[in-house]
Amino acid sequence: MENTPTKSSPVMPQLIILTLFWVGLQLVATWVKDDFSHVSQYISEINATGSTAAGAFGWVGFIPLAMVSFGVLLTARPHLRVKGISHIGWSLLFFYPVAYLGAALAPCDLGCPTDGSSSQALHNVISMVSYFGFALGTLLLTFTPKTTWPVRCAFVLLSVIIALGFVLMINPELAEVRGAIQRYIGVAQLVVFWLLLWLKPAEADGGSNE
């Protein structure tokens, strides 16, 4: 069964760490920042300039999270059957760690406004490119050879959720729930990483790739 992940997949432990780290970052932020709201505030506001523990969350939260996701993608590559267009899709998933590195090295201002400091401006550019780049990468993974239609449809749906979610969360009229929308996007991105387990070569099960 070439589309069934194995328990011995070398990327599985890193996926578990990535998922737990992402969830843990949300919980720690709530514990450290009494007034922080996951419903109305962006994840990047955990490290917003001038906020509680600003800077610290970048170095002990966002940067390690970026490194773990880098590791997931690099470890997974030899075990994926992506090639051509789908290989480009895999490459575009690196926008995920880039986004978190951007949140650490180019922190947003308080409130993460559309206009602000030079750091905020750079932060906005990185965010926009990263979300749409990741969404495009997810869509291109549908072209992975010998992939079942349920998996292909999942990639299409997730790419739409991520791209549309970004458009919705920056809509001023939805400012009160923009944080919640972003968390849903974050979950969708993690699902994309987990779906990589379904893109392993058939040889991993001792079968044929035909």
DSSP for 120-167 reads HHHHHHHHHHHHHHHHHHHHHGGG-TT--HHHHHHHHHHHHHHHHHHH
| Single-letter code of the amino acid located at 17 | I
pLDDT value at position 5?
61
Return the higher-pLDDT residue of 114 and 187: 187
Judge whether residue 31 has pLDDT over 60. Answer: yes
**pLDDT tier for residue 33 given thresholds of 50, 70 and 90:** confident
How buried is residue 93: exposed, middle or buried, by Cβ count under 10 Å (0-12/13-18/19+)?
A: buried
**pLDDT tier for residue 1 given thresholds of 50, 70 and 90:** very low
pLDDT value at position 108?
95
- Of 19-23, 110-114, 184-188, 193-197, the one with minimum mean pLDDT is 110-114
| Single-letter code of the amino acid located at 114 | T
Question: For 144-158, what is each residue's pLDDT tens digit?
Answer: 999 999 999 999 999
pLDDT value at position 151?
97
d(CA 131, CA 185): 9
Judge whether residue 52 has pLDDT over 60. Answer: yes
pTM (predicted TM-score): 0.91
Judge whether residue 209 has pLDDT over 70. Answer: no
Within 8 A by CB and 6+ apart from 42, the residues are 108, 112, 169, 178, 179, 182
pLDDT value at position 201?
81
pLDDT value at position 114?
86
**pLDDT tier for residue 7 given thresholds of 50, 70 and 90:** low
